[in-house]
Amino acid sequence: MNIGVFKFTSCGGCQYSLLDLGESLLKFKISYFTELSSKNIFSPLDLALIEGSVTTNEEENFLKKIRKNARYLVALGACAVSGGIQAIQEDKSSNRIRPYSKPLADFVPVEFELRGCPISKHHLLEVLFSLSVGSMPLLPDYPLCLDCKRKGNPCLIVTKGVLCLGVITQGGCGAICPSKGRGCYGCFGPVKKVNLKAFFKCCLRLGLSEEEAIQALKNSFNGYHPDLRELYENIS
């Protein structure tokens, strides 16, 4: 399997999750990865792994070129999936310092999304090994609260009155933050068929209005995720 790794606007953290795979990475042919080598060949790819959001016309054009050249395209992390924290500026009320920051899926079809800031290396391995043997990767599609229950954590909203985005966030991280007594801030992004009404109910319980709850979401790592954008529009 021929792999290319590309970086757009981002901190580079998700690429380090890839490097963190260590020897497992040697099982794959990587022909393009500027973080790893100065010899990069832009040949037809079985798999393009892309970190970062699209913030310039050059990035948009390069993304389209990669798409034409790759069988599978995977968005790595919150920036590639949702536009990242830099997309907060998309909110009309905030000051814009760049023209835009958008997720890959706003421009090209994306086969798989690896969530998180940064991504989980276990999910990355699932994608790499499954595709290399011709199977479809199995990635989490359940809410984070399920991870929390599996760990036997008491719910922070119910027992401590702490704001936690777990009810609307995709699981798979193992409930890292709630396990340490800290509310989830949604770095894995919205779960499929996200239920904002349930989230608003939790917020109401904590004394937050619907507007404050929406603002908390918009100011998060995945606040510009396409699914959430659609929901904001339907609410307002």
Query: By the criterion CB under 6 A, which residues form the site for ligand SF4?
Result: 144-145, 148, 153, 155-157, 164, 166-167, 169, 173, 175-178, 184-188
User: Least CB distance from residue 77 to ligand SF4, whole Å?
Assistant: 11
User: Least CB distance from residue 152 to ligand SF4, whole Å?
Assistant: 11
Q: Which is nearer to ligand SF4, 45 or 173 (CB)?
A: 173
Q: Which of 10, 217, 205 is nearest to 117 (CA)?
A: 10
Q: Which is nearer to ligand SF4, 183 or 226 (CB)?
A: 183
User: Least CB distance from residue 58 to ligand SF4, whole Å?
Assistant: 30
User: What is the C-alpha to C-alpha distance for residues 35 and 6, in angstroms, rounded to an integer?
Assistant: 9
User: Least CB distance from residue 155 to ligand SF4, whole Å?
Assistant: 3
Q: Which is nearer to ligand SF4, 32 or 185 (CB)?
A: 185
User: Least CB distance from residue 216 to ligand SF4, whole Å?
Assistant: 13
Q: Which is nearer to ligand SF4, 27 or 205 (CB)?
A: 205
User: Least CB distance from residue 14 to ligand SF4, whole Å?
Assistant: 13
- Kindly calculate the radius of gyration of the chain based on its CA atoms and give it in whole angstroms: 18
Whether 147 contacts 169, CB under 8 Å: no
User: What is the C-alpha to C-alpha distance for residues 31 and 2, in angstroms, rounded to an integer?
Assistant: 7
Q: Which is nearer to ligand SF4, 102 or 115 (CB)?
A: 115
Q: Which is nearer to ligand SF4, 103 or 186 (CB)?
A: 186
**Ramachandran angles phi, psi of 190, nearest 5°:** -70, 140
Chain residue at closest Cβ approach to ligand SF4: 166
Q: Which of 34, 36, 125, 50 is nearest to 84 (CA)?
A: 50
